[in-house]
Amino acid sequence: MIKKILYLPLQVTAIFAGFVFLMNIPIFLQFNAKEKRIDMDISLYWEYSKSNLSWFLHIIDEVPYIFEYLNASTIDKYYYTMSILLLALLFAVIAGLVVSTTIMLLPTSARKRLKGFIDFTTSAPELLIIFLLQYLVIYLYRTYDIKLFQLYGGMSTQPYFLPAFVSSFLPALFLIQFLLREFSNEELKDYVVFARAKGLSRRTIYLKHIIRNIIPLLLIHLKVIIWYILTNIIVVEYLFNIDGYIGIVKSLFAKRIVPYVISLLLFAAPVILSNLLSWIITIRMKRKEHNSI
């Protein structure tokens, strides 16, 4: 019981300390231009880290800076970035379910070829895929005068579709890869063999039985997809000159430690919530499995 009570405060303390220690790494590793080498100054790094950690002990003094940071403009940009995240997650989930199910319903030869293509595509560098998608939109516009959607942000412009699509492209492929593997595992289970013995078609088995059992696994895997999308959003906001939440986080770097850590925690909130969802579903699945036994 004592361990459970102490676990959460210790975990939060470790998270805050981790943010501070990581943020001060540039102070620990300093480039010496004259001698063209990297110097390590552990004493200066430790002094900066202790000073920054002490700010959390006097967090009351940081309250004005926190309220200054959490203004209407910051909240609007946070909602905008989270909207891109939700739209990208929607794209990834729909594409993952539709494409993976369609592939599994194809003949074996076509299924193997498409699986190989997806495995090859997911091995490509993330930035390469983003640049290719960006180049495709520019090429269509300049060559055929086809403007599919708003490409860049700036001023009062806030594009949604393209940042969400680009951010979700590789996560969707990874989700398809994951679902194909889980579909293959489900095909070997007794209820599928029994359904085939009763003469049910493959489409009926997949759409009415297998997908229903795959959904909990999909929800558990969302934490990985969300984390992947968030990292893509950081790159996309820089490449497309989008005035989103990442710019706010960057502006606080090495200035105000407490608001900066809060900004990182807000950005990571979807990952925390998805981990909570994964934990709840895992417990329910274990209880269901225990009751069935």
Q: Are residues 116 and 185 in the same domain?
A: yes
44 found inside a domain? yes
63 found inside a domain? no
87 found inside a domain? yes
- Tens of pLDDT, residues 150-161: 555 555 567 778
With beta carbons less than 8 A apart as the criterion, state whether 233 and 88 touch. Answer: yes
With beta carbons less than 8 A apart as the criterion, state whether 254 and 105 touch. Answer: no
Q: Are residues 102 and 162 in the same domain?
A: yes
d(CA 158, CA 245): 12
Q: Bigger pLDDT: 147 or 45?
A: 45
Mean pLDDT of the chain: 77
Residue 123 phi/psi, 5° resolution?
Answer: -85, -10
Q: What is the CATH number of the domain that holds 256?
A: 1.10.3720.10
Total domain count, the chain: 2
Q: Please give the residue range of the domain that contains residue 49.
A: 2-58
d(CA 226, CA 249): 19
Q: Are residues 95 and 54 in the same domain?
A: no
**Continuous H helices in 29-125:** 42-57, 59-69, 72-105, 108-122
With beta carbons less than 8 A apart as the criterion, state whether 52 and 258 touch. Answer: no
Run of H or E residues at 30? strand 29-32
- Tens of pLDDT, residues 100-143: 989 888 888 888 888 888 887 777 666 666 677 666 766 666 67
Q: Is the pLDDT of residue 149 over 60?
A: no
Q: What is the predicted pLDDT for the residue at 204?
A: 85
What is the rounded average pLDDT of the residues 50-76?
73
